[in-house]
Structure 1
């Protein structure tokens, strides 16, 4: 089986991925680039946001397997071949995301960001302390990551409601769906955590209207994509107190430019896109399972519905 490995990573990262993938699938032949000599041999591509057009000219390509959970950049390539695309769904990554969501929720709930600001001002002042069951957390996006985060928060005693665009079910968690249900849900939310996929329907969702619908002083946690957030609208909402504090892990431009106001804003916590780093070992095993299924003519896992964008 001939497989192309390509993406927007440096040589060291590529070599590390190759070593893990070779261990997981030793019988495969791995190619680092497509050439006139090997293009007709390649039946699958394992990718990490490859440059647009890189997957053209592979006549026998049967699967594009993403190493990342998000596939919005991949699907935005108009030249992407019309073959199945699978995204990375890794329980290890979901567990890591749940840890970050819990940390952010606890920090917002207990005022730890406020205490950090007080420390810089030498301000010894105790803030009111609420119980976890008095805190309403709204979780946008109820895929595997969203469900794992919701369950972790429920275990800690928080009131959690999930929201998604389309109807569905989520065991052990209240669930709302559709835009009409979003606005009244925001009005009673103390903390909103965004884990939505980035699609034409969800881009710029976190905008002025969204923030005005929130309970005043609510916390925002964006762990999904920078394209969900209208940054100028968030800055305005922070200025007027509609949003009390924002924890941001993803941005429209990454790395976040040094001159960006988020860096020094006292009510913004900046993370460098590390809420849930990909574990190469686990991800390589997941890739191997799908590639073996492709080779054996079996059902593929975690295929993307292109019309939905995830």
Structure 2
């Protein structure tokens, strides 16, 4: 059928009076997982150098038997070790002109409030990545930022496990600081035997691993291991059957361990973590700071100053360069 020639069509008014059909919402699929930061404890720092004490018991002596009437001796005891980490400032700056703040914008009431909300999400992701990183501690200078050592830097030999590979190592803290870089070693396939070795090492040092934290590729690798507790799931007669294609819990001789998928850990690193031994300590908790105006614009900064506390590094293990 031929359209009436005289009729006004939408095509004719699209560039003039036709109102745009723009949804009043902004869709954002950016990932927001902060698994490690959420599961770790929270504490308070009081200086840019945060310190804590850690100790271990003497080796077990199954032949601890004293002679009746024997004189007491003076035996030197080992004192606790002092560990340290620097605070790191995570920051996001943003500004909005007076005009932009007053305009009507789709998906938001105020542009400044929107920027603040987005910056809050971004800074938490940055912190999560830093907390899991292999970055060593750095004191910083007037022209370089202080850096808090990440979890990878805190897990050192012999708890940096070599899984059928050479050269994988991380040295112990120097003067209490985890300042040594991580040496990854040769790329190697991750195996269930390697995972069990990691769990055994943490257990032998007194750790109780509750979390196995990995990236997506290694998550799929672990899902294929024997020892997965959620490979099958019972469902009721009227429920839809479920196909389990991923692991939730790994059961070993050393307990049950939650397998956690991380977006921000290095893709080739496997963590076996006792989360009770980790804490994020804040010198300055999350806060929004008003910055002095320069011209016709409102300026703000969102920041947090924090550090990672590894209460007992030897309760955790890691393996690097895994596939």
TM-score, with length taken from structure 1: 0.27
Name the structure, 1 or 2, with higher relative contact order (CA <8 Å, separation 6+): 2
Indicate the structure (1 or 2) with the bigger Cα radius of gyration: 2
Higher helix content, 1 or 2: 1
**Greater fraction strand:** 2
TM-score normalised by structure 2 residue count: 0.26
